[in-house]
Amino acid sequence: MPQATGNPTRQLSDGQRKNTPRNPDVPESLDVPGPADGGITDDGPADHVPAGRPPITATPTATRTDTELLIAASVLLADAALAARKAGADLTGALTGGRFALQALRRPAWALGTALSCARALTSPTGLGFGPNGGVIGELARIAGNVTRRRPAAVAMAVDAFALRIEAATLTHPNLDSAHARRLTGAVVSGNRVETVRALYALVERLGVTRALTTVSPVIMELLALTGLLDENPVNDDFSWVTLSGGIPTTDPFLGLPSSLLKYLNPGPGRAERADADPILAKVLGTSRNDIVSYINDIGALGNHGLVLLRRVACEDGTVRHVLLLPGTSFALLSNSTPQDLVGAFDGCLRTDTTYTRAARKLLRRAGVPAGSELMLVGHSLGGLTAMNLAADADVASEYRITHVVTLGSPIDAKRPADHTTRVISLVNKHDVIPMLDGRGPASPHDIPAGWVELAWLDESYDYPLSHAPQAYSDSLRGELAHYREQVNGLIRCYDGDITGNQPYMLRDH
């Protein structure tokens, strides 16, 4: 595929980010050329293939099998690494516990032999490497091992598991197979920080910052986890182990700072005030309808300086329903006077009760949305996170019937709605960095709940951050991925009707 930014040829391939393909001949996670390339789509109708472009043959099954085998092997290695780490903690706890001390007083010879055996198992290269952890003594020993760069067997297996994930992603993302990208990933896997810095500099020098970031985005979580696992800092390892097990890290990968600190950086109670639409927003809202592209365009017109929109719809079945549109993050400042800032974005990813969700709850009460009303939440980026956080709030879910949560470019995979009947629809451009921040990248073995609808594609028309913009998603859905647009519109059909109210609200931290 062309690599130059701004190439007029649109490169798209579509498919859910799953590891088990629906078509036995085409790997679902593989970047199969899409309609614009004369290729195939995994579930799109044939009439979306431009005329005059011959269809291509399916990717050989061997490639799919290689990817699946790599991911399966990474799962086995990850399980082994976690088991070895737990074994080290259990041995450390047994050796330093009070019961062992009492037994040592009664049977000193036995205790000495047992202690020597445990010490050999914990420190031998043929055993757990240097595997003590857990408890005060175990953690002190682990810290000493980190500082002296003694690598436990668990860490070695974890590194291999991450390396296999990166290799699996490389098979499905050709950009990662370039010499410069290979040099970077190889340096990170080997733990060579000097070479990592040189390789990163060479990649940025060749491609530019945005293209370099976009290139490594499919494996960004794996690279961060490896960086934390292989450095001498003993307090940032939790990020790596949680990423390995498929969870959402609650610490940062560099200093190991806990996410609980974010509540002190984002403490605002949240406030919602009615606002007037400016002429541009009013013009866009004048053409709005129950269509996913229309919703995305509305979110784009709202901007990311604190405005959200509550819509009232007199639906065709006679029911009055509401739609809440939630824009994403402003990247101008780390923190500003609205919930739509970078601090709010990190907070929304790691926690549920945030300033954005508190302000949105106050908006619904201030607007007088009747209890029991059916409500659809549509959000981009941080707005999508906030939509899922609202749906996960038991109080909100019990007061309103949240029928749909529609997100685009949002890392929501670890979040769950409180009401199991809520339909979650996630739109993901695999050329967008942000959706990968939930820890589930293209080569992750962890999947979404069966009832969710995730529509993912690869559109290389824009590099990050443009690939993350609402307009990029709208552009894709209006073009070659029109069948996805039709699919989403079919899922939200119950909101068809006349718009009887469009009220913007300005959300503030305080």
pLDDT in tens, 257-299: 887 777 788 888 999 999 999 999 999 999 999 999 999 999 9
Identify the burial level of 420 via C-beta atoms within 10 angstroms of its C-beta, where 0-12 means exposed, 13-18 middle and 19 or more buried: exposed
Question: Which residues of the chain, if any, have pLDDT below 70?
Answer: 1-65, 332-334, 439-443, 445-446
Q: What pLDDT, on a 0 to 100 scale, did the predictor assign at position 21?
A: 38
Q: Which amino acid is at 158?
A: A
Q: What pLDDT, on a 0 to 100 scale, did the predictor assign at position 245?
A: 86
Q: How far apart are CA 387 and CA 352, in angstroms?
A: 10
What strands, in cross-sheet order, belong to the sheet with 271-274?
12-14, 453-459, 423-429, 401-408, 374-380, 320-326, 307-315, 497-508, 271-274
Q: What pLDDT, on a 0 to 100 scale, did the predictor assign at position 430?
A: 84
Q: Could you give the angle at which helices 179-190 and 220-230 cross, rounded to 10 degrees?
A: 30
Identify the burial level of 146 via C-beta atoms within 10 angstroms of its C-beta, where 0-12 means exposed, 13-18 middle and 19 or more buried: buried
DSSP state string for 374-425: EEEEEEETHHHHHHHHHHH-HHHHHHSEEEEEEEES---TT---SSTTPEEE
Query: Count of CB atoms within 10 A of residue 244's CB?
Result: 26
Whether residue 362 contacts residue 387, with contact meaning beta carbons closer than 8 Å, is answered with no
User: Across-strand partners of 498?
Assistant: 314
Q: Which residues of 174-213 are buried (b: 16+ CB within 10 A; e: fewer)?
A: ebbebebbebbbebbbebeeeebeebbeebbeebeebbbb
Q: What pLDDT, on a 0 to 100 scale, did the predictor assign at position 122?
A: 92
Place of tokens 């013009």: 283
Hey, what are 170's tokens?
A: 């490389």
Q: What pLDDT, on a 0 to 100 scale, did the predictor assign at position 15?
A: 52
Q: Could you give the angle at which helices 179-190 and 193-207 cross, rounded to 10 degrees?
A: 160
Q: What pLDDT, on a 0 to 100 scale, did the predictor assign at position 402?
A: 98
Q: What pLDDT, on a 0 to 100 scale, did the predictor assign at position 346?
A: 85
Q: How far apart are CA 122 and CA 120, in angstroms?
A: 5
Q: What pLDDT, on a 0 to 100 scale, did the predictor assign at position 209?
A: 85
Hey, what are 471's tokens?
A: 């307009």
